[in-house]
């Protein structure tokens, strides 16, 4: 299992190198087949619309943190892109294993709700910070919960692992077990929170612990074994 920080595209090379080291015969990615198809069809339109809206903003706001993250959100996730690149080079299957419930609800709304001038003006009204500072906070949070077993993890779990999340974890686990019945060495790539192991928490890592040999956390240019 490989955990990433979503939108951290600088981790792409490290992820690709880790895949070469692990030599999987199948890669499962935390994305749904619906999301892949929908993004392929609508990505260019989303980016054109964002570009049009940005022309209405003061130049000083066009490189705001929220704009930079939004651009990354609109393109195909780097985890899927790198997995597909490795899969094509190694002639192995790359499988989208997410349920699609969230993407079916959210992606069609982006063109009107996410990509409108009022929402973007509200986003850039927030205090701006650098990408390095933003991802550094996320690196520290991931490392704290996965590597250090920080005591605040109980509060974090209560906020994140609601009924919908737990249902999604079970779907991911079922699909990974299905792949493991066919392939000898399956590598899963997804957000780091799915790798949490905590008593009584139905996380993906806990549900698939019977078939999981190793867990890795990627933060920027570092790979940490959990």
Question: How do the domains of the chain map onto residue ranges?
Answer: 2-49+77-101+130-225
178-204 pLDDT, tens digit each: 999 999 999 999 999 999 987 778 899
pLDDT of residue 199: 76
Backbone torsions φ then ψ of 29, nearest 5 degrees: -125, 140
Two tokens, residue 58? 């003061």
pLDDT at 73 over 80: yes
What are the residues facing 186 on neighbouring strands? 26
> Is 187 in contact with 22 (CB distance < 8 Å)?
yes
* Sequence-ordered list of residues with C-beta below 8 angstroms from that of 130, at least 6 positions apart, any chain: 65
pLDDT of residue 122: 95
Strands (E), the chain: 2-4, 26-29, 94-96, 186-191, 216-219, 222-225
pLDDT at 12 over 80: yes
* Sequence-ordered list of residues with C-beta below 8 angstroms from that of 30, at least 6 positions apart, any chain: 79, 97, 98, 172, 188, 189, 190, 191, 194
- Fill in the DSSP letter of residue 103: H
How remote is the C-alpha of 93 from its chain's centroid? 19
127-170 pLDDT, tens digit each: 999 999 999 999 999 998 888 766 667 777 777 788 888 899 99
98-129 pLDDT, tens digit each: 999 999 999 999 999 999 999 999 999 999 99
Q: Which of 93, 77, 85 is nearest to 27 (CA)?
A: 93
Task: Report the percentage of the chain scoring pLDDT > 90.
Answer: 86
| pTM for this prediction | 0.94
Q: Is 141 left (phi over 0), alpha (psi -120 to 50) or beta?
A: alpha
Please, which pLDDT band fits residue 30 given cuts at 50, 70 and 90? very high
Two tokens, residue 136? 């550094």
pLDDT of residue 159: 75
Measured CA to CA, the distance from residue 50 to residue 226 in angstroms comes to 38
> Is 26 in contact with 187 (CB distance < 8 Å)?
yes
pLDDT at 79 over 90: yes
């Amino acid at each position: 299992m490989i955990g990433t920080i979503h939108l951290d595209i600088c981790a792409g090379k490290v992820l690709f190198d880790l895949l070469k080291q692990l030599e999987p015969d199948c890669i499962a990615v935390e994305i749904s087949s619906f999301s892949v198809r929908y993004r392929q069809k609508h990505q260019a339109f989303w980016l054109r619309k964002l570009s049009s809206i940005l022309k209405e903003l003061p130049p000083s706001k066009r490189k705001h943190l929220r704009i930079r993250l939004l651009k990354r959100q609109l393109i195909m996730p780097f985890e899927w892109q790198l997995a597909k690149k490795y899969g094509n080079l190694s002639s192995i299957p790359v499988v989208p294993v997410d349920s699609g419930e969230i993407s079916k609800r959210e992606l069609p709304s982006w063109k009107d709700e996410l990509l409108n001038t009022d929402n973007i003006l509200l986003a850039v009204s927030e205090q701006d910070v650098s990408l390095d500072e933003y991802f550094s906070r996320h690196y520290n949070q991931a490392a704290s919960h996965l590597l250090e077993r920080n005591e605040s993890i109980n509060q974090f779990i209560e906020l994140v692992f609601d009924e919908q999340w737990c249902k999604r974890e079970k779907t991911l686990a079922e699909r990974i077990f299905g792949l493991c019945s066919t392939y000898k060495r399956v590598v899963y790539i997804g957000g780091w929170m799915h790798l949490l192991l905590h008593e009584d928490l139905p996380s993906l890592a806990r549900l698939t612990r019977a078939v999981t040999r190793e867990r890795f956390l990627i933060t920027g240019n570092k790979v940490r074994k959990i």
